[in-house]
Structure 1
Amino acid sequence: MNSSTVTPISTMDKLSKALIPTDTPPERVLQFGTGVLLRGLPDYYINKANQQGTFNGSIVVVKSTDGSTDEFARQDNLYTLVVRGVQQGQPIAENTVVTAISRVWAAQTDWKEILRLAQNPDLQIIISNTTEVGIQYVEESIFQHPPQSYPAKLTAFLYEVFKNSGGSKKRGMVVIPTELITDNGLKLRDTVEKLAKYNELGRLFMKWLKYHVRFCNSLVDRIVTGRPDAERYQQLGQELGYEDNLLTMTEPYRLWAIEGDDRVKEMLSFAQADSSIIIEEDITFYRERKLRVLNGTHTLSVPLGYLMGMETVYENNHHPVMSRFVQQLMLTEIVPTVPTDTMPDAGPAAIEQFARDVLDRFRNPHIVHLLPNILTQQTSKMQARNVATIQRYYDKFGKLPQHMALGFAAYLLYMKAVNVEGNTYYGERSAAGQTQSYPIRDEKADYFYQLWQTVDVHDPASVRQFVHSVCADTMLWGADLSSLPDFADTVTEYLSDMVTLGVEATAAKWLPA
């Protein structure tokens, strides 16, 4: 594009209701959190349902953290969701102006107004995403303005609903946390009940809470990266014809699995708008599928790619050796081990299709997913995502999963710190012919640092002792990986090659074209 024909985005009209007139449906949803995941998934779904006429409800958003809500107010709470990527081999490019948000309030300054929403009989749905640490029990008064923790804010609001309705079952609520923790709904309910007891809210409130407030476990799956870099943002502004400071980038794939019965389905009528919203009484299958296939593949492949010099998931899945490794790891070793007993009919086909979708997602050039962000807390992720998968592979096939062993060896090398500054441990990798330092953000960094100090990398026996010691640590893995036939010895061979031949040469050696 000729630079002389480009209109600076700062001189364009700003997205607002003056530019795109919209109606505001009744406020039916209270949302705690302003993050991009909520904008790219639940808010998108509700907006879509409104457009289809299956919901007719708007969202009141509460900004739980400190900070201004002016960026929403300046745009009349509108924003553009930009979808880019590939789905089943077809390029996807969609732009949607999301108009479902009616108001955005700050908990720190607008708490009284937020509590007044409890008087609204239309408002029966609460959604949240307050990060993984948001659902924690903090012993505090819910009568502060505002309470500090999210569960305390939620308890205060539910108590206000209870008081205003006289404990009526007609004012029952559905609460759907989307925080990325297992059994998020059950954990949030437990925390709210503890706060209710601590604040002595009474037996009748506890009874109303038990019978008329449904806390639903849920699983969200969509990569939402928010506003892109300046160059891409300028390009999108030219395409859209207006400035949108809340512009949000996301991928085509989407899933929201919610545990609930027919009553929950009735209350969440927006679910009719999109087949990727799943409401079932047990969502274990969807959680297990994502944990093993998507997350497990990341944990076993990202250390290898990062040590070879990759920076993003896209790069990792376009490198000739790494792309082959990821695909073979996922399709031949991980997919066959995912349990299908919770979904016996559609299970195998659903897992296979999900894996194909994940490969499309990994290859999306429009989503910048940085490997260092994935590499945080690798040890706990390895235990949660991959140990059971390795064991299941042995149970099913009775032999070594070679790709998993190679990924595990790369993980051990990634955890090798060569320098310590304060409380931060640093490893080293070779990239573009240069040695680069990286921080090891893992609570087991010191554990591995101490073990690596005892290793002579040029002595195969020393490397073998290190690998067997780590694999046999049942406190680390909840299992003895050294007891699996050939696993520790093969990991030793791969690791020895990596420290002598180099990581990329080792991968090429064991993954021939």
Structure 2
Amino acid sequence: MSKLTRSIHPAPVFPEKILQFGTGVLLRGLPDYLVQKANAAGRFGGSIVIVKSTDGQTDEFSDQDNLYTVAVRGVQQGQDVAETTIVSAVSRVLAAQSQWKEILMLARNPKLQIVISNTTEVGLNYVEESIFQQPPQSFPAKLTAFLYERFRSVGGSRAKGLVVIPTELVTDNGLKLREAVEKLSEYNELGKLFTKWLKFHVRFCNSLVDRIVTRPTEEAKQALQQEAGYEDELLTFTEPYHLWAIEGDDRVRQMLTFADASTPQIIIDEDINFYRERKLRVLNGSHTLTMPLGYLLGLETVADEMRHPFMSRFIESLMLNEIVPTVPDYGIPGMDKAAVAQFARDVLDRFRNPHLDHLLLNISLQETAKMQARNVATIQRYFETFNAVPKLTALGFAAYLLFMKAVREEKGQFFGEINVAGGGVLTYPIRDDKAGYFYGDWKTVKKGTPATVDAFVKSVLSDKTLWQVDLTTLPGFTDAVAENLNAMLSSGVEKTLENALS
């Protein structure tokens, strides 16, 4: 079978308009995919230069003439979706370690308009260093060096300003990146004129990306390559749903010509908090509240949860009846309760996607911090709205406490255990900074003594260092969590879940 190259898939060459820091699957399956679609529709007419910082190897791209395939598989509004797109929008992939001078030369390109990044969450952090290294170490320093070279080559021209769109999963990612660049400018003494150009002519946009993008399993990869008729080492696998919300004004809209009325998946608005809050509460919050329950039932993936008769009902009811009503309503079409409810239905479709192996244990990383960030405000808002206990949320919270019950510690790593079908025991890692805290607190719980469970729950819920609030002040919530936890310890997880849904 032939490798995917331009000899078997000829593609037009467009001017280089985008510089992208990062080669990961999220960028390939969302921004780059959307640029490809816009080029195919005759809207953008630009290509992407990618900077690879992690190592000096770019062969996986060059061997395929910078082409790769995005395979979309899943369910959308009840309909099966299967689409395959060859992305030819990438013109070059440059290694920062060996081609830094070539990257800086790109700063002089008058057609360049946009910078996109997806490094890591910590990749936006400020690191005090010289930007004149070859190359600088941190991403903000690399970007500062690139912008300074741009400034020097264009003489501070307003017309040659850029739009910078980080896509890292950090709140206010654009503002955080701008702050790091400004600090680096000051530390490196780049001058008042550069600072002025940076302030007025380089627009840093907060953005939110929402799409599950993965590398396919080897089995899925082989099947997709047989279907396509070529080999693709960069084959990217993704769900149908996708959203890219960008905080910007008319100038940003004019620059991002790959977004228009025909691409509702790209939202450019001066305030994207609605989309961030909706995703955080509905998608991320439901993951955090349902993962422990599903895993304690012996399930492995989100799709497994949606096939389970009790878990599927639990997830749907929790999402639609306890989370959706608490998401702030802007009161305008597209940013109202109807939009939140539609998003929830889309999320349920995404959870049902049989093509994605979304492992529950991966979702469990730093569960305590996620519970605080994603669900505490939802619980408070539910009480404010209904003056009642969110019963399924209380059950999910109790399951989280049980999931955090470590049975042993080995070299600073904590492990929990669950009983599985056939009488076996499954050991799992508790990858949470608060695992030691719970390991100690669980020792106060005596088997067959509900009062010690009640005291444990009250102690945890009242701890402001965990939740930033005292959750025991919410009438009835402590009792509901303790009752569910006692039931799971005495009657089992599945029976407790079944009773909660009856």
**TM-score higher than 0.5 here?**
yes
Letter in 2 for 1:311: E
**Could you tell me whether the CA contact under 8 Å between 2:52 and 2:93 is conserved in 1?**
yes
Tell me how far apart the structure 2 counterparts of residues 111 and 141 of structure 1 sit (CA, whole Å): 15
CA–CA separation in structure 2 for the residues paired with 1:170 and 1:447: 55
- Which residue of the partner structure matches residue 240 of structure 1? 228
Q: Provide the C-alpha distance between the structure 2 equivalents of 1:431 and 1:150, rounded to a whole number of angstroms.
A: 45
Structure 2: how far apart are the matches of 1:231 and 1:148? Answer: 37
Aligned to 1:113: 102
Q: Please name the residue that 1:280 is paired with.
A: 269
Three-state SS of the structure 2 residue aligned to 1:30 is strand
Relative to structure 1, the CA distance from residue 342 to residue 183 in structure 2 (aligned partners, 3 Å threshold; closer, same or farther) is farther
What code does the residue aligned with 1:232 have?
A
Q: Which deviates more from structure 2 when the two are superposed, residues 228-237 or residues 95-104?
A: 228-237
Query: TM-score by structure 1 length?
Result: 0.96
Gaps of 5+ in 2: none
* 1:293 aligned onto 2:251: no
**What is the TM-score normalised by the length of structure 2?**
0.98
Task: Give the structure 2 partner of residue 397 of structure 1.
Answer: 386
Question: 5 Å matches for 1:96-107?
Answer: 96-107=85-96
Q: Which residue does 2:148 correspond to in 1?
A: 159
Distance (whole Å) between structure 2 residues aligned to residue 17 and residue 52 of structure 1: 20
In the alignment, structure 1 residue 43 sits paired with structure 2 residue 29: no
The one-letter amino acid of 1:111's match is W
Rounded Cα–Cα distance in structure 2 between residues aligned with 1:487 and 1:25: 59
For the Cα contact (< 8 Å) 1:64–1:108, is it kept in 2? yes
Residues 140-170 of structure 1: per-residue CA shift (max 9 Å, x gap): 1100011110000000000000000111111
Alignment-derived partner of residue 473 in structure 1? 463
- CA-atom RMSD, angstroms? 1.0
CA distance in structure 2 between the aligned counterparts of 1:76 and 1:342, rounded to whole angstroms: 48
The one-letter amino acid of 2:474's match is: L
Paired residues, number: 500
2:257 counterpart letter in structure 1: S
Whole-angstrom CA distance in 1 between matches of 2:100 and 2:237:
31
Q: Structure 1's 62 and 239: CA in aligned 2 closer, same or farther, altered over 3 A?
A: same
Does structure 1 residue 68 correspond to structure 2 residue 68? Answer: no
Deviation per residue, 1:247-277 (Å, 9 max, x gap):
1000000000000000000000101252110
Give the drift of 1:509: 2.0
Gaps of 5+ in 1: 1-11
Match of 2:476 in 1: 486
Match of 1:193 among 157, 179, 182: 182
**Distance in 2 separating the partners of 1:132 and 1:460:** 41
| 3-state SS of paired residue (1:509) | helix
Secondary structure, in 3 states, of the residue corresponding to 1:269? coil
Query: Is 1:384 matched up with 2:361?
Result: no
Distance (whole Å) between structure 2 residues aligned to residue 455 and residue 67 of structure 1:
53
Q: Distance in 1 between matches of 2:111 and 2:338?
A: 40
Q: Point out the more displaced range, 446-455 or 29-38.
A: 446-455
Aligned partner of 2:19 in structure 1 is 30
Q: 1:131 aligns with which of 102, 116, 120?
A: 120
Separation in 2 of the partners of 1:341 and 1:14? 50
- SS of 2:98's partner is helix
**Is the aligned partner of 1:89 residue 2:41?**
no
Q: Could you tell me how far apart the structure 1 residues matched to 2:30 and 2:172 are?
A: 19
Identity, in percent, stands at: 66
State the partner residue of 1:3.
Answer: none
User: Given residue 503 of structure 1, which amino acid in structure 2 is its aligned partner?
Assistant: V
Q: Does 1:335 align with 2:324?
A: yes
1:452-471 pair list within 5 angstroms:
452-471=442-461
> How many Å apart are 1:341 and its aligned residue?
2.8
Question: Could you say what secondary structure the match of 2:18 adopts?
Answer: strand
**Per-residue CA shift, 1:364-409, capped at 9, x if unaligned?**
0011111111000000100000000001001000111000000000
Q: CA deviation at 1:431?
A: 2.4
Give 1:231's aligned residue: 219
The SS at the match of 2:224 is helix
Q: Which amino acid aligns with 2:239?
A: E
- Give deviations 1:352-373, integer Å, cap 9, x for gaps: 1100000000000011111111
Deviations 1:80-103 (CA, angstroms, capped at 9, x unpaired):
000001100111000000000000
- SS of the residue aligned with 1:85? strand
Q: Deviations over 1:178-206 (max 9, x none)?
A: 00010000000001000110111111100
Any conservation in 1 of the 2:18–2:115 contact (CA below 8 Å)?
yes
Aligned residue type for 1:321 = F
Distance 2:397 2:446 in 1: 19
Deviations 1:416-471 (A, max 9, x none): 11100011011111223321111111111111111111111321110000000111
Shift of 1:497: 1.2
2:269 pairs with 1:269 = no
The C-alpha deviation readout for 1:2-47, integer Å capped at 9, x for no partner, is: xxxxxxxxxx011000010112100000000000000000000111
**Distance in 1 of aligned mates of 2:321 and 2:82:** 31
- Residue 433 of structure 2 corresponds to 443
Shift of the alpha carbon at 1:231? 1.8
Secondary structure in 1 aligned to 2:303?
A: helix
Three-state SS of the structure 2 residue aligned to 1:39 is helix
Are 2:407 and 1:418 aligned? yes
Q: C-alpha distance in 2, partners of 1:341/1:277?
A: 19
Q: Distance in 2 between matches of 1:84 and 1:432?
A: 31
**For 1:435 and 1:485, how far apart are their aligned partners in 2?**
37
Moved more, 266-275 or 335-344: 335-344
In 2, the alpha carbon distance for the partners of 1:504 and 1:421 equals: 29
Contact 2:124 2:140 in 1 (8 A): yes
**Post-superposition CA distance 1:282-321 (Å, at most 9, x none):** 0000000000000000000011000111111100111001
Q: Aligned letter for 1:244?
A: D
Q: For residue 255 of structure 1, what is the aligned residue in structure 2?
A: 243
Mapped partners of 1:212, 1:75: distance in 2: 36
1:15 is aligned to 4
Give, in angstroms, the shift of residue 128 of structure 1. 0.2
Q: Corresponding residue for 1:5?
A: none
Q: Which moved more, 1:130-139 or 1:429-438?
A: 429-438
Q: Secondary structure at the match of 1:59?
A: strand
Q: Distance in 2 between matches of 1:175 and 1:330?
A: 34
Residue type of the alignment partner of 1:485: P
Q: Pairwise mapping of residues 303-318 of structure 1 onto structure 2 (< 5 A)?
A: 303-318=292-307
4+ residue runs over 6 A deviation: none
The one of 174, 182, 196 aligned to 1:207: 196
